[in-house]
Amino acid sequence: MKPFLTICRLLRSLNRFSTKPSPLASFSTSPCLCGQKKKNSYEAIDQKKYARLVRSVLSRGPVQTPESLFQEDNILYGPVSKHRAPEQQQQGRVPQNWFPIFNEERNVKPHTSASSGPLKIPLQKNVAPSVTRILQQTMTPEQCFFLERWKQRMVLELGEDGFAEYTKSIFLQGQQFHDALESILSLQENLKGTEEHLQCGYIKSVQHILKEISGVQALESAVQHEALKYVGLLDCVAEYQGKLCVIDWKTSEKPKPFIGDTYDNPLQVVAYMGAVNHDAHYSFQVQCGLIVVAYKDGSPAHPHFMDEELCSKYWAKWLLRLEEYTEKQKNQSVPKPD
């Protein structure tokens, strides 16, 4: 009973206070309520000019050297990625002067007898620009940057003389590899006699590819596109898994399992294909391409097959590079005003 009386007294005392909700307190940031804001001495200064001054001061740092830049890059980003950057300038562009890669007037299958041997047409220099020259002269800024950066890193590691010796060694190895392949593929009816070349890691690397090759039609043979005005020296034209291809043999010290890792090699292949299909020295038509990347350590080579659809896509890119090269040559030949 006593607790009940205590509760009743508390309830009577609460009735003395209003139960209506009190209005919410409001706050304002208005200068009128908070008092006059103290003026900042920098308000009278040109803010844009002051911002530029701050940026210029803060941007000044210690003098950088190639060695320090490479060290910072390695710490921040790791090893240099050599994946090809997207060609933003060519996205959405189409060649102004379209020319087909395939020749409707020619048969797909060659009718050259095996006894006549593969074609080996000599290259006529200075007749027209080569495919290699055109691609080198029209590399994207990203390609030029990574190529120059790779060269600088190699020079820092090997020195000028060491780098020159390294490039010479790479060239000789590639030449020996191509000579060995030419010797092997010339024996069309007997590709088993390759034991003498197996000491070469590159030849060992392509053994499983050679088993799929037959019907060799051309080896180290020149091509000329009379309509588009360029020449080239292709490695091989033969059947790979029953399909006639322009075959390009490449060497590499690093794995290249994807066709994107081969940079401009697909453009080189389709340039040779288009020339073969319109060169009077060749009576057949090629509709496919093959890039074979061989490795010095003898590990299995990576074959990158290019079907008709893929070749057509790369052909459009090749025509753009060809137009870019032609435009550069015109601009260089125009005399500059005094």
The answer to whether residue 276 is domain-embedded is yes
pLDDT at residue 321 tops 50: yes
pLDDT at 27: 45
Range of the domain at 307: 105-330
Average pLDDT over residues 209-224: 96
Average pLDDT over residues 8-13: 56
What whole-number distance in Å separates Cα of residue 26 and Cα of residue 33? 12
CATH of the domain at 251: 3.90.320
Q: Phi then psi for 288, rounded to 5 degrees? A: -135, 160
Percent composition of the chain: helix, strand, coil (DSSP 3-state, to 5): 45, 15, 40
Q: Which residue has the tokens 């090699």?
A: 265
| Residues in a beta bridge with 290 | 247, 305
Q: How many structural domains are present in the chain?
A: 1
Higher pLDDT, 154 or 28: 154
Cα 145–165–131 angle (5° rounding)? 50
Q: Phi then psi for 238, rounded to 5 degrees? A: -160, 170
pLDDT at 87: 47
pLDDT at 151: 85
The answer to whether residue 233 is domain-embedded is yes
Active site residues: 235, 248, 250
Dihedral sign, CA of 85, 91, 96, 97? positive
Q: What is the pLDDT of residues 237-269, one digit of tens each?
A: 999 999 999 999 999 989 999 999 999 999 999
The answer to whether residue 291 is domain-embedded is yes
pLDDT at 297: 92
pLDDT at 240: 97
The answer to whether residue 252 is domain-embedded is yes
Higher pLDDT, 9 or 281: 281
pLDDT at residue 20 tops 60: no
Q: What is the pLDDT of residues 130-150, one digit of tens each?
A: 999 999 999 988 888 888 888
pLDDT at 204: 93
What whole-number distance in Å separates Cα of residue 21 and Cα of residue 14? 15
Can you read off the two tokens belonging to residue 266? 């697909």
pTM score above 0.75: no
The answer to whether residue 262 is domain-embedded is yes
Q: What is the pLDDT of residues 31-80, one digit of tens each?
A: 444 455 555 555 566 666 666 655 654 554 555 566 666 666 666 666 65
Contact 204, 198 (CB under 8 A): yes
Interstrand relation of 243-252 and 288-295 (parallel, antiparallel or unpaired): parallel
User: Confidence band (pLDDT; 50, 70, 90) for 288?
Assistant: very high
The answer to whether residue 36 is domain-embedded is no
Q: What is the pLDDT of residues 113-132, one digit of tens each?
A: 445 789 999 998 888 999 99
The answer to whether residue 81 is domain-embedded is no
The answer to whether residue 74 is domain-embedded is no
What whole-number distance in Å separates Cα of residue 295 and Cα of residue 250? 9
What whole-number distance in Å separates Cα of residue 311 and Cα of residue 338? 46
DSSP state of 9: H
DSSP state of 205: H
Average pLDDT over residues 178-182: 92
